[in-house]
Structure 1
Amino acid sequence: MIGKMDLDGTWELHPVAEFSSLWWSEEAPDEGWVQQEMPGQWQELDSFSRYAGKMVYRRNFSFVPEKDRIYRLAIGGVFYKYRVYLNNYALGGREGYFCPTTFNITPYLRAENQLILEVESPGKNADGTTPPVLTGIFADHPNFPEGFNPGGLWRPVCILSSGSAYIERWHLRTEELDGDEAVLKLQTEVYAARELELMVQLQLTPNNFDGQSFRQEFVLKLEKGTNPLQKSFRLQGIRPWQTWDRGRPYLYRTTLTLKAADQTWDEKECRFGIRTFTFDNFIPCLNGRRLLVKGSNYLPSALYLSKVGPEDYQAEIALLQKSHQNMVRCYQHLEKAEFYQAMDEAGILVWQDFPIPAGYSFTNLTGILQQVEEMFNLLSNHPSVAIWALSNHSGYEGEQSGRLGIDFRQQVKKLAQHLNELDPSRPVIPLSGWRPGQAVADTGFNLQYPEEIFKFNQYRRGFRQRYIRFVSWFGRTALGSAEPDAEARARSQRQQAETLRFYIDRLRFHKYKPTGGMLFFCFRALTPGLSWSVVDEWGEPRDSFATVVLCYRPVYVFALLPQEQYRIGTLFQTPICFSNDRAQEAQTAVLVKARLTDPRGQLVWKEQWELKPKPDEETRILGEVSVMLMVKGTYRLNLSWVDQGETIENLYQITAG
């Protein structure tokens, strides 16, 4: 009895100064309408390339409703808020671009129908300020071009049909995990059009492996309206979901079905992974074992999310895995459902930001709480989603926000408390990266250039080490393809690479003592201009990408240069460090060689070590270079090692003069 009718395809759009009943009446003007294929965003059209404000959307369709069925209009997502009308009946509205919503349209359907949406996505105010909208990075962020506006129906629209009851929402989470045994908890809300009794069936079937299936069944007596259900149950013989660098991301095709009289009235499906994720003093623990997080801040793949497809996500996943990343931070935005599905399948963790801007004015706390709940409803069944963060102040945002007001902090903490009550299975960070002096969360560092970057070392000593427990923002800007001078562009990207290596070396040195993770800014660019990214706007790696590939390797040998330039006659000393993130018990020996040559190419120091790596060990110091720099010019410290048959090199340059 379940069914679906897509309402994507060609819609009509008309910009308006104000909404009125005129647009959903017979007197609506015929001129001025523009057609667009949905899902879509209006600035994709040349005629609206700089438009921001109000837009009326219209679609006519035929339909033949059947008896004893419930029909719902499902709107997947609209930038930024809207009201919807079917055949002149007001169904309701929603604020929040990522919030999927359904409306019961059973009483209003006819053979011929007209659907109207009043959509508003405001631009800047007359005084140049940004309106109070929860669109995160899409609202006046420097990564987006001037005049950008994401307005439109960016997610699918359809009609869903079911029997006399349907699933409003459902959540499945792992409460306990011990080897191949787990306790899962199901929470769901079922709407019934009348009093009735039905069977609820939960089925878990291996999706990407051969293994055991599981089924749970419950008889549910329903009253008219919304009926909650909570059930916990123990499963034996499960396979836990892992990140790709730790094992396999085992997924179960999980279906929740409502059945009555041998008929399926409604069904929901997801790919579920059984796993636990916790923080121990900001050291991540996946399935009870420590995990060093290495990743990046993730910006949208394109200016207009409506046109991003699964193939785009797969191309990015290939680069993420090539560069040994096991987490991305969905930076100041929520992505499409296909993104999270791809991360589930790839075994890449997601740190999920809520898109509340710094210093936001809480004039409608109830509405914001509703959007927090919608984020949870949308993403809670994805095993890749590991961390919630409410307000991001780690990098650019930290510079803009200055000192946060007490009221803002208190309101954000209320949001975090509410989210934690909804989802006790994930860490919730209220104020991410806010002020390095406040060691209550992760931190971000915007020290980019040689004259300032070594100030970071003050956070590596004494009590200040708590500020590098989890560094969620670091990096450097570099010129993009818009720069016509190829030499300047290459030099800029080399400097960006050196900054990334500077931070990664020091954070890996402090692995678990106290550092639990690092996320550089950022993975991909949106425009060809100046940016922090290591992948350009076309999805092609920049020069700095190779440095991430090197520095995020599971087995990595590096040096900690105490400064960038030295005087002639200075005693140069630096430790040679070995980091191993592989968790397997049995690992092959690693041969490490170190050579220092002077500006004339003469060898002035060398050493080698043969190591037996320990599983996921803390970083160890192999030895120390100690050489007097007596020749003006560039010394070269070459570190090489053989890892699983591959020879790797890490080259440092030391300038004396």
Structure 2
Amino acid sequence: TVLGVDHRHQQPLAAGENRVEWTVRVPRPQLWWPHELGDQPLFEVTLTITTEDSVVSDRATRRIGFRSVRMRDHIWRINGERLFLRGGIVPPLRLDLAQVTPESATADVAHARDTGLNLLRLAAHVSHPALYDAADEAGMLVWQDLPMRGGYHRSIRGQAMRQAREMVDLLGHHPSIIVWCGHDAPDQADTTRPAPSLLEQQRPNWNRTVLDRSIRRALRRTDSSRPVIAHTGVLPSPPVVEDAATHLRFGWYGGRADDLTEFLRRSPRAGGFVAAFGAHSVPDIDPELLGLDPTRWPRPDWSRLTGDPDGELEVLLGLFPPDDHPDLATWADATRSHQAEVLRIQIEAMRRRKYQPCGGFALDRLLDAEPCISGSLLDHDRQPKPAHAAVTTACATTIVVADPLPRRLRQGATLLTDVAVVHDGREDLGLTRIDAHLDIAGETLTWAWEGEIGADSSVHVGRIEWPTGNAQGGIELALVLSAGGVTAANRYASTVAGV
């Protein structure tokens, strides 16, 4: 029964499992939309199985929404409307999933929406049913992974394909789910490299080449209505560049946060969809919840650390040596500031490459299930880190951005930075004015541009070029956008040092 209309289908069945498909036409239904594009009408569908003598054998009711999803080269369209995906990884909401309630799941989805996100990436797990219901109701898109991470023995291929089919059977009625992904990070991460090695990944191995392709085939056969991606953490390579999504860890595994900009300039396809990025930080909570004794700083017993679910303490200690900080609180604060800066710079870099060719991203991660050191924006009590405010600003509907300034400039060098406007709104901004103010040593230089900014666009506005000459000291670049009732601002800082 769909929208009060009964549809009947007779089917002979064999012993054992039978998979039956048929098409039901629903004329001009109300469409389900992501929250920034429209409403989320939901309808109940009831399937009743009866025998030849009209005895009811089974009955199931599901809540559905009508919408279409298309993806090509990681450019996504929902009901034909192009949409840039601003996402975040979501781990299990609680260590004990039984503690999740419809109210808590709805609150977590609201946190994502308030942060400016339109996608939740459920990495390597199936979540509580309440999360999918909340996403359906809120218009929050979902990227659903099969519960697989890392390498596996060859004997699991059949079981993995069976689980892929069962995952679709379990969750396929949710309109919020727009993509299935077979395998999260099939290759072990190299924590000394911020980006995977394309040469190494072009060598076939059983997990990527055999297992993941088998899972992808099983998912496509079971559900042809959604895109399927074989794996994440893998650089795209011919013949199907959209079959993978990268993990890029600049500013965490190596390099600086702004190195991502140059990497994407040299390897634009690697930025088609970035499925994990960011940096870990220490939450602002009682250190004893993490197993740390602040009185023993800078030599706490790291072996007692209870909150390192990703096993990346060595990376954190390499970036922030305890001996460089007077106490644990100062050290922890430095990690949080670094995380905020990494996410801000990298989200701006990807958004300004919108559809050229970047189709979206999923930061690592939105929240924690337990007290821990991680890349989360919200701790286990859903208290925000500084990165939360940085991401909220960087994910605003309209932003004005510049290339990150060098940390230090030498006297006599020339400052060069390009300015752009990114607008995810569905209506044109119209005539827009951008003012840039560069302050150094009490002197202010000004640039201004005016022009039309269209809907769902990323527009290069102009370039700032300034010879430093004999100037010395801190500099600040302030950008201000105004277009009718829309305003946006941004700031960047650097230093000019003597020769």
Q: TM-score range by the shorter chain?
A: 0.7 to 0.9
Aligned to 2:408: 565
Structure 1, residues 291-342: CA drift from partner, whole Å, max 9, x if none? 1111111112221111111121122122211111111110111101111111
Structure 1, residues 42-83: CA drift from partner, whole Å, max 9, x if none? xxxxxxxxxxxxxxxxxxxxxxxxxxxxxxxxxxxxxxxxxx
Establish whether residue 556 from structure 1 lines up as the match of residue 399 from structure 2: yes
Aligned to 2:75: 283
**What displacement does 1:486 show?**
4.1
Aligned to 1:19: none
Establish whether residue 628 from structure 1 lines up as the match of residue 470 from structure 2: no
Preserved CA contact (<8 Å) 1:398 1:435: no
Taking the aligned partners of 2:138 and 2:47, their CA distance within structure 1 comes to: 24
Taking a change above 3 Å as real, the CA distance of residues 382 and 257 of structure 1, as seen in their structure-2 partners, is: same
Aligned to 2:102: 310
Establish whether residue 215 from structure 1 lines up as the match of residue 2 from structure 2: no
Structure showing greater radius of gyration is 1
Aligned to 1:420: 220
Range 317-326 or range 477-486, more displaced: 477-486
Taking a change above 3 Å as real, the CA distance of residues 373 and 644 of structure 1, as seen in their structure-2 partners, is: farther
Aligned to 1:448: 251
Establish whether residue 292 from structure 1 lines up as the match of residue 84 from structure 2: yes
**What displacement does 1:611 show?**
4.6
Given candidates 456, 466, 485, the residue that maps to 1:616 is: 456
Aligned to 1:593: 435
Structure 1, residues 399-433: CA drift from partner, whole Å, max 9, x if none? 59996762222122112111111111112122222
Segments of 5+ residues of structure 2 without an aligned counterpart are 288-293, 295-327
**What displacement does 1:570 show?**
1.7
The one-letter code matched in structure 2 to 1:347 is G
The one-letter code matched in structure 2 to 1:215 is V
After TM superposition, the structure 1 = structure 2 runs for residues 470-481 of structure 1, keeping only pairs within 5 Å, are 470-480=273-283, 481=285
Given candidates 253, 276, 286, the residue that maps to 2:44 is: 253
Taking a change above 3 Å as real, the CA distance of residues 281 and 349 of structure 1, as seen in their structure-2 partners, is: same
Structure 1, residues 516-550: CA drift from partner, whole Å, max 9, x if none? 11111111123434211111111111111111111
Taking a change above 3 Å as real, the CA distance of residues 395 and 641 of structure 1, as seen in their structure-2 partners, is: farther
User: SS state of the match for residue 2, structure 2?
Assistant: strand
Aligned to 1:358: 150
Establish whether residue 270 from structure 1 lines up as the match of residue 62 from structure 2: yes
Establish whether residue 239 from structure 1 lines up as the match of residue 53 from structure 2: no
Given candidates 448, 455, 459, the residue that maps to 2:263 is: 459
Preserved CA contact (<8 Å) 2:235 2:244: no
Taking the aligned partners of 1:359 and 1:259, their CA distance within structure 2 comes to: 44
The one-letter code matched in structure 1 to 2:125 is H
Taking the aligned partners of 2:495 and 2:186, their CA distance within structure 1 comes to: 33
User: SS state of the match for residue 583, structure 1?
Assistant: coil
Preserved CA contact (<8 Å) 2:76 2:82: yes
Preserved CA contact (<8 Å) 2:93 2:369: yes
**What displacement does 1:492 show?**
2.3
Taking a change above 3 Å as real, the CA distance of residues 219 and 374 of structure 1, as seen in their structure-2 partners, is: closer
Aligned to 1:494: 337
Preserved CA contact (<8 Å) 1:246 1:582: no
User: SS state of the match for residue 230, structure 1?
Assistant: coil
**What displacement does 1:469 show?**
0.9
The one-letter code matched in structure 2 to 1:622 is V
Given candidates 206, 230, 233, the residue that maps to 1:433 is: 233
Range 484-493 or range 543-552, more displaced: 484-493
Taking the aligned partners of 1:262 and 1:555, their CA distance within structure 2 comes to: 59
The one-letter code matched in structure 2 to 1:602 is E
Segments of 5+ residues of structure 1 without an aligned counterpart are 1-201, 205-213
**What displacement does 1:365 show?**
2.7
User: SS state of the match for residue 332, structure 2?
Assistant: helix
Aligned to 1:648: 488
Identity %: 26
Establish whether residue 526 from structure 1 lines up as the match of residue 369 from structure 2: yes
Establish whether residue 343 from structure 1 lines up as the match of residue 130 from structure 2: no
Aligned residues: 442
Aligned to 2:443: 602
User: SS state of the match for residue 173, structure 2?
Assistant: coil
Taking a change above 3 Å as real, the CA distance of residues 230 and 417 of structure 1, as seen in their structure-2 partners, is: closer
Taking a change above 3 Å as real, the CA distance of residues 345 and 492 of structure 1, as seen in their structure-2 partners, is: same
Taking the aligned partners of 1:363 and 1:224, their CA distance within structure 2 comes to: 29
Given candidates 185, 206, 223, the residue that maps to 1:407 is: 206
Taking a change above 3 Å as real, the CA distance of residues 219 and 361 of structure 1, as seen in their structure-2 partners, is: closer
Aligned to 2:477: 637
Comparing both structures, which one devotes a greater share of its residues to helix? 2
After TM superposition, the structure 1 = structure 2 runs for residues 37-76 of structure 1, keeping only pairs within 5 Å, are none
Taking a change above 3 Å as real, the CA distance of residues 550 and 395 of structure 1, as seen in their structure-2 partners, is: farther
**What displacement does 1:362 show?**
2.5
Preserved CA contact (<8 Å) 2:405 2:494: no
The one-letter code matched in structure 2 to 1:324 is G
Range 350-359 or range 233-242, more displaced: 233-242
Taking a change above 3 Å as real, the CA distance of residues 513 and 415 of structure 1, as seen in their structure-2 partners, is: same
Preserved CA contact (<8 Å) 1:470 1:517: yes
User: SS state of the match for residue 232, structure 1?
Assistant: coil
**What displacement does 1:507 show?**
0.9
After TM superposition, the structure 1 = structure 2 runs for residues 131-146 of structure 1, keeping only pairs within 5 Å, are none
**What displacement does 1:602 show?**
2.9
**What displacement does 1:644 show?**
7.1
Taking a change above 3 Å as real, the CA distance of residues 370 and 227 of structure 1, as seen in their structure-2 partners, is: closer
The one-letter code matched in structure 2 to 1:546 is A
Aligned to 1:368: 160
Preserved CA contact (<8 Å) 2:480 2:490: yes
**What displacement does 1:451 show?**
4.2
Taking the aligned partners of 2:18 and 2:257, their CA distance within structure 1 comes to: 57
Taking the aligned partners of 1:460 and 1:369, their CA distance within structure 2 comes to: 34
Taking the aligned partners of 2:50 and 2:389, their CA distance within structure 1 comes to: 54
Taking the aligned partners of 1:398 and 1:428, their CA distance within structure 2 comes to: 26
User: SS state of the match for residue 544, structure 1?
Assistant: helix
Taking a change above 3 Å as real, the CA distance of residues 542 and 611 of structure 1, as seen in their structure-2 partners, is: farther
**What displacement does 1:610 show?**
4.5
Preserved CA contact (<8 Å) 1:332 1:353: yes
**What displacement does 1:564 show?**
2.4
Structure 1, residues 587-646: CA drift from partner, whole Å, max 9, x if none? 565443321111x3431x2233455431212x1111221222343332111122347746
Taking the aligned partners of 1:560 and 1:602, their CA distance within structure 2 comes to: 22
**What displacement does 1:567 show?**
1.4
Range 605-614 or range 640-649, more displaced: 640-649
User: SS state of the match for residue 25, structure 2?
Assistant: strand
TM-score for both structures, normalised by structure 1: 0.62
Taking a change above 3 Å as real, the CA distance of residues 631 and 479 of structure 1, as seen in their structure-2 partners, is: farther
Establish whether residue 319 from structure 1 lines up as the match of residue 160 from structure 2: no
Give the superposed CA RMSD.
2.8
TM-score for both structures, normalised by structure 2: 0.81
